[in-house]
Each structure stands twice: as structure tokens, then as C-alpha cells.
Structure 1
Amino acid sequence: MSERAWLGADAASPAVDALTLIAEGVTRVAGFRVATVGLVRGNELETVAVAGDDEARTALLGARTPLASILAELELAEHWGPLRFVPHESLPVDLQVWGWVPDLLPLEGPDAWHPMDALCAPLHSGSGEMLGMLSMDLPDDGRRPGPEAQRVLAAYADQATRAALLALEREQLAEQVRLASAARQIVRDAPAQLGVEEVLAASADALMQGFRAVGAWLQIFADDGLGTGRLVAADGTQVALPGRLVRTAERSARASWAAQRVDVVSREHLQAPALSARETSEIVDFLDEIRVGSLLFVPIGAAHEALGNLVLTRLAGAPGWTAAEREAALDIGHDLGRVVLNARSFEREHRMVEELRALDSYKGRLIATVSHELKNPLTAIVGHLEILQDEPTDPAVSASVDAIDRGARRLARVADDLLLLAKVGDPDHPVVPRPVDLADVVADVLALQEHSLTRKGIEVVVEKPEEPVVAMAEAEEIERLVTNLVSNAGKYTPSGGRVTVCLAVEGDEAVLECTDTGLGISAEDQEQLFQEFFRSTNPLALAQPGTGLGLSIVHRIVSRHGGRTEVESRLGEGSTFRVRLPVAG
């Protein structure tokens, strides 16, 4: 038995190429037909280089074996200097076979090589840590190696140790770069609506692994008008820093951003030119207090503005911060600067939306209050006017009373429209939909307006399918919607014209369409048609009395029902208003 499996590396890396050359040297110079090199990771070993026999290469390259199994077998080995030889006769009968066992018929004699023999050289670092293993199998002469062969193999083991250490360091660096790049990519790919805390939480693992850090926290400076700054750790918890250190960190970040550098702070090493001796001492004492050996201080910013800082920490005794790490960290500071700017923009936008909502709510309450206050005196005025109109009086006085009555009733209509506008715009007054037959609503509205339409000489046409057109809506609001559309059509259609009301079902929408042959609406006016109090710029339309609230009310009713309002019109050719509502069922 020989080659055992280990945890591995990228076979295409230069360091692994060096290990392969060492294995090939064993096969060419030391007189073995198979040689392998493995590297250690965690509690497993993987073969990363195989030289010699193709069958052995197929069976061993990339194979994994628990490190505990290998170490247990090495306990049975004879020590030949740096080499370990496990003779087959020392192996227990019930040993579980692992790895590759060559198909070999042993020679005669006590020094004959047996298929279950194992010869290897464990590779250790200067501190005694096991890095990997060099293994040999199938000696060319079929005999266990003598002293001279052992000396040659020991030399190769020494070379393999140095190459293994280099391979592990390169792999570690490559993994570190990969994780740091992954952290940068996470930050760069973060959705724009995420805040800086969410981005830090999403990238924390990759960030700390990539920089071999044990902790990370962010300090975000206060934005003008947006309250105090924020200090948050990678795990989302709040960081408690002394106030003096917070101010020192902010000043240092601004200086570091201006110089485009990152600073290293530890008791043994300091790269922070902006700090005074007292400030440096305070920071080092704080590191001792939180049991941190060193920190990497990364400024965060955009363009010429410093926005905060990122701090990455390592324990005492950990490797120093490399130039590559500092450069990658500065790039992340630029990426986080973009995140901070986005977060500020969204925070401002959120505040503006809240202010607009509050303003809209206030406007609604104001309209409702004023309308209520108008309703009571107007009701009294209209009532007393009716009494005066019933009494015989001077014609001049009667004309004045009639004028007052018209004005009072117009004010009453304005008050009614304002109250309805406030109601349909109130988010605290939700729709309670029920099935509403639109044909019944149209019939009721036309019955009420038949006299005024007939008196003006306007033909009214209703087109509807045989099946009922039923919408999910509030009947009272839909009745007001239809009333406004029909009255508008009649108001702006000259005598002899036509108003057509069509009903239909299109997919999951109940459609109500009101078409007239009236004045029409210009393209410019159509852009503002549903704004409150908007009146057309057409002089002919302005001559007609109105509050400018009818279509605003229609649009709000449709919107709060989850529907759509459409308009098609050309000057002098009439208009079509189309309302789409959710169909019942």
C-alpha cells in the first residue's frame, strides 16, 4: 500500500507545477515508478501531484482521505530520518485499505517490496505544522531502498517541504484575493435601494474572510439635515466607541480620503499620519480593551467628499496587512461610497414622500373642514331664498333673489364636489366593493339628466351587450362617476349633438365609455385634464359654468377602485372618456 489521498490545490498553479516536478524527479532519479505529493487542508489530504504510472495517476489525483487514517498508520512506521516506512508485516489484519494498491508480485528475500508497503516523507513547517506528504511506490529494483536511496529521497523531501509551503501560501493568497473580490462584487452588485447597513450585512462574511479579519464596523458621517451619523458592526449590532474616538476617526477618514490611502493601527505598527501621539495612544489602548491586535482603517467616500470609514480588525499575532489588501480595501471604500450616496438619496426621497403625504392629508382635511363650514350657511341661505321666492315682491327684487339663489346653489355644488373629492382622496376611507350592474347605474343617471339633455336637443344613445356588465365597486361612487361624465358630455356638446354611452367586458375589466360630439379637448389640455380645479384654455369651454373638479373626482374614483381612465379627443370633433374597472367574478 502506498499513495494516500489528500486535500488539494489547483493543478494548473505554478506552485503545484513545482510539486509535480519534484514527484517526477523522484521517479527519474530516486528509482521509483510512482511518486505523489499531497497538501493538507483541515482534517483531510488530497493528492495534488502524481508522477509515473498512469493507472496510479487516474486513481490518486484529487482523491481525498481523512488525515486521521493516515496519521494512525504512520504510528506504525519505522523512522528513516525524515522518511517514514510502514512495512506490510506491521499492518493489522483488519486494516481498512485506502488509496491505491499496485498489482505487484513481490520478489524473494527479506528486503523485497510488498504491494502493501508504504514509504513517505511527512512535510512540516518550521513551527511543526504538517503541510503535506511526499509518497513513493514501486521501486525499480523491487527492493526496499537502502541508505543511499534514502539520502536522495530525504533531499527531495526537503525540496517538497519548501514547495508545499509556497503552494499553500499561494493558495491562501489566491483564496484571500477571491474572497476580497467577492466582497467587492457583492457591494457593487447591491440593489440601489439597499441601505449601507444591509450591504454590509450581505457582504460581511466574504469581506471578513477575504481580509482574514475577525471584525468589521462602519462609521457613516451625518448628512446635513438628516440627523446624526451611524456606527454599525458587520453583524448589525451597534458599536460603542468613546465620543473622542468617533471624532478622531471622522477627522482621520477625511484626511485619508483626501490622500487616497488606508491606515494600519497596532501597538507595533502605525500608518496614520493624521493622528497625534495622544490619539494614537488612545486608539491602541482601545484595541487592547477590545482584545484586537491591529486594524485596517479604510476611508469611504465619493469624488472629493469623505462619507465615512470602514474598520477591519485582526487578533494579536495575526499576519500583517499586505499592500494588496490595502489596495483592495481602498477600492471597497469607493464602492461603499456609492452605497452611502444612494442611501442618502433614498432617505431624502422617503422624507419628501412622507412630507407630501402629510401635506396631501392636511389638504384633504382642510378641504373637508371648509366644505362642511360652507354647507351649513349655504343650506340656510337657500332655504330663506325659497321663502322669498314664494312671496310676491318687486320684479327688481325678484331678479336679485334669483341671482342670489343661482350663486348659492353654485357654491353648494362646489362644496359638494370638495367634500366628495376629500372623501375619494382619503386613504383612511377604503373602497368596500360589491357587484354593481353598470347598465342600472347608467339608466338611473340618464333618467335624472333626461330633461336637461332633451331640452338642449341632444340625442342620447346607450349601447350594451346582452349579458350584464357588472363591476366590483361602490355603487354610490360609480353613480357619481357616471353623472360627472354624462353631465360633462352634455355641457360641452352643442344642440343637435349626440352623447353615446357604451358598456362592455374586456378580459377582467368592465368598460364604460362616454362619447360626445362636442367641443373636443386640445392635446395640451389633455395633459392636465384630471388636475384639481383645471379649466380648459378653450374660450368656448370656459364660457360654460363649472368647478374644475368633475374629472378630478372621476379619476380619483377610478384609481381607488384599481381601474384606469383613458381619454381620446380632438378639437372640434368631440371626446371619448373610457373607464376600466375590475369586473365582478
Structure 2
Amino acid sequence: MEQQPVQTIDPQLMGDAAAMQGLVEVMALLHSAVGRHAVLDAVVSGVRDALGFSMAAIRVLEEDGRMLHTAAVVGPPDATASLQGRTLPLSELVMEFGWAERDEDVYFVPWERLPDDIISTWVPEAPIADGPDAWHPMDALYVRLNDDEGRLLGVLGVDLPVSGRRPDAHQRQLLQLYARHASLALQRTKMIENQSRLVASLLAAQQESDSMVATLTHDLKSPLTVILGHAELARDGLLDDDDPVAVRLDSVLKAVRRMQTTIDALLTERESAHDEPVHVSTWEPVDLAAMAGELVAFSGVVADRRRLTLELAVGEGDAVVEGDPRELIRAIDNLVSNALKYTPPGGHVVLGVECLEDEVVVTCADDGLGIPVAEQREVFGAYARAARAKAEGIEGSGLGLPSARRTVETHGGTLTLASAPGDGATFTARFPRPSTTRDLSPQRTS
């Protein structure tokens, strides 16, 4: 039998096949959900294993546009230890590019062009091969990593070719393919980071807008309530509907009620959008006793209009806590408003402040409808309202108490309820003293 000649495979074809296999792996990572580091690691590993370089590193341009940091590196232990996490001024790389032989985005810096006083980050201890294309330990080969607009994202650098020879045009083309995929990974990361910053900016703007709306609506609500109360009292004293003063008061009442409806709608929308505790941005000493006194004085006309007795009971001692005064007054006002709303004519509402050693306790007690035990678990949930209140047609959004509890808890306190049908309700808010609230808000100035 005639012996068949042994067929040999072109080494370059074998090398190309390995290079393509490495690129396929990089592309698979690039189109998956893995992060930038996994793709860059795959690129430098592919350059080492498939293209035949003992060392490969990717440096990424930082946000300031002045420094590059090593994001991925493979190679001898002394090389990786020297380069990992290291930063390089962009100006030094640009200077080195000035000595290079350039072919598109490939920059080869032959050691013959280097100044005598150049200091390298890492120089391998490797024998120097013979011949004009022999790789010298001081040679350097870089590929720019650009975005689609040609802007620099980073650089892929290689060293120590296994062949001991300077890469030819074909090897440089393969190197550019790997560099292109590293650029895509960097572009994707940059796009995601830009999107994240945009989303964060939009959320911050939305929060600022919500805060402004909440402040304006609440600051308008209380004065309007007072105006409405006084206007109603004045109008009740005029029995003649044709009296010019009565006509003017009726116009005032219509306008105020229309504004109240708009404000209530804004408050309802704002509260329903906040299922989580809001972050308090401005902390300062707040005297809860003085705040309670202000609320009682302000709400007196509402109590008079509804034929209720509103009292203030403040114990001795310092009632100062740390917090956001606007949020705190909204929370306590919600408790007082609820008590006045659900207490029938002739009833009593007492707003109390007690100063204990390590906390300040604010209570709002009434002798109104009361809340059945079965309904008390849900009273702090959004839109929750007592069945009797609904049956008697008492208006309300069911958002005031959830808002009050969120504010109290944001300030490190607790808000609880004690009630029984026909015996009224007592809401108790406990606020820790300043020494125990100091670390609660990271946004607050120390």
C-alpha cells in the first residue's frame, strides 16, 4: 500500500483560529450582562493566549482626562505586581507616542528611538534575539482604544512576544480586533454611567420639586384653614343673604374652598407617591413645646368653628430635639387636624408635650369617635380610614397618619395609637434627644 504523505497545517492558520476563538469568547462576554472588568480581562487573556504575548495590559482614561489607570493586566508576577492599579499621566503616554512608528491606531515604540534617560515602569529580564526584527526588552507596542468619535478611552499595551520577534502587520491587525472589543466594553460602561448620572439628576430634580410642592402646599393649607374659619364665623353672623358684606364673604369662602381642594389634591398625590420614609435634608434644634403652642393657637379658630375645646398641656423641662422643623410641624399638625376632624361638637382635644430624660413625648388625645381594635393595625397604612368615619361621611384622604409616622420614624422616633370605640384616640410620638439622633441623617451638617 502506498503511504499517504503527512499533511501539515500552516502555523499561521492555527494561530488565526486560536485568535478567532478568543474573539468569540470576548464577544460573548461583551453581549452578556457581565461588567466591564470581565470583558477587559478576557481581552488581555486572549492577547496572551491566542496572539502569543507573554504580557498584556489595558489602561483606561480616567474622568479627569489626565490620568490612565491599569484596569486589566496578565503576565509574569513581577509585571502584574508592578502595573496592577498603577496610574500613568496621559502626557507621558502622548510623549511616548511621539517616538513611535504609527500604523492607524497601532503605535510601535522601538528601543532605538528612546532617549537615553528614559525610565520604564517595568523592563523584563529576557534574552535579546538576533536579527533586525528581534524584540528588545525596551520595545513597546500599544493600540489606542477609541470611541466611535475617535476620542481616546484607553490603551492596550503588549510585551514579550513568545516568538521573540516584533509583530508583523498580520499580528497587528489581530491585535486591533481585540482592542476594538475592549473599546466597545469601555463605551458601554461609559454609556451606562452617563445614564445612571442622568437618572440620578432627574430623581434629584424630582425630589426637589416634590419637596417644594409639599412645602408650599402645607404652608398654604394652615393659613387657608384659619382664613376659612374666620370667614365662616363672620358669615354666620349675617343672616341676610343680600347683605353686601355677606355676598363678599360668600365669594371669599368659595375661593378659599377651591384653593383648599387644590391643595388637598396636591398633598394627596405627594403622600401617595412616598411609600418609604423621606430623607430629612435640613436638621436644626426644634422646640416641640413652642411648636405645639403655635399649632394650638393656629388651629383655635377651627376648633371654635366646630365647637370643640382645644387645649395645650406642656410639662416642665427642655423640649428641644433635632430635626426638620417643616416636616415635624406637618406631622404634628396632621395629628391635631385628625383629632379636630373626628371629634364631634362639644368634644375636647388636648395636645401635650412631656419632657423626659432621654426623649420628648408629644401626645394628641381626643374624646371623639375612637377606632376599633380590629382597625388599629391598618390605621397607619395609606388610604386607611375608620369604618365609622366613612359611614358618617367625614372627609379625609387616609394619608395624614402614614405621613406623620414616616416623619417621626425618619427622626428616630415612634408613633403609636391607643384607642377604643366611643373613648376617643390618643396618638403618642416619642422623639429621642439630640445626643441619640446625631447620626441619623447623613445629609445633616454636624
TM-score, normalising length: structure 2: 0.49
> Which one has more relative contact order, counting CA pairs under 8 Å at least 6 apart?
2
Larger Rg: 1
